[in-house]
Amino acid sequence: MFECTALKSLPPGFQINGILTLSRCTSLAKLPPNLKVRGNLQADGCTRLETLSTGLSIQGILDLSGCTALQELPRDLHIGGELDLSGCTALREPPPDLGAVVNLNLSGCTAWRELPPDLHIEGELNLSDCTALQKCRNCLAAFTSEAI
């Protein structure tokens, strides 16, 4: 569904066993409750996407890069792989219990203020151009020993 500029929503409880590509679906403002993707979700460039609904579960990569209207992530967000939030300029902070991710890209998240205390990153953390970042509680503890 690459560049489906008229797509506004997906049905509640939508599930897919592979990759879901919603890249540059510029009319998409919200993802449905209990969306389950047993692969990757590519929603980069969805410039009207403001919120992610509860029950979102991604087993692979979640790419929300360039979602400039995204303001918050759900508390029960589950990601089994990477999380790319680069260029999400309205996003201020993660849910407090984000947990573990493989890689976390926050480059250009100019409103991002702090990292959660229980964050665990198995690979890379990109904080370039996070100009509002003030708190990095337990920052070194966020990395597994292989990543340091």
Residue range 124-142, pLDDT digits in tens: 989 999 999 887 655 555 4
Q: What is the per-residue pLDDT for 31?
A: 92
* Rounded distance between C-alpha atoms, residue 142 and residue 148, angstroms: 10
- The stretch 77-83 carries a mean pLDDT of 91
Residue type, 80: G
Tokens at 44, concatenated: 């980069």
Cβ-in-10-Å burial (0-12, 13-18, 19+) of 143 comes to: middle
pLDDT over 70 percentage in the chain: 89
pLDDT digits (tens, 9 = 90+) for 15-30: 999 999 999 999 999 9
pLDDT over 90 percentage in the chain: 54
pLDDT band for position 1 (50/70/90)? low
Torsion angle, CA of 30/65/15/17, rounded to 10 degrees?
Answer: 170
Eight-state DSSP code of residue 141? G
In angstroms, the Cα distances linking 128 to 34, 50, 145 are: 32, 23, 22
Q: What is the per-residue pLDDT for 148?
A: 39
What phi and psi, each to the nearest 5 degrees, are found at residue 126? -110, 115
Most confident of 10-14, 96-100, 136-140: 10-14
What phi and psi, each to the nearest 5 degrees, are found at residue 141? -70, -15
This model's pTM is above 0.75: yes
Residue predicted with more confidence, 20 or 147: 20
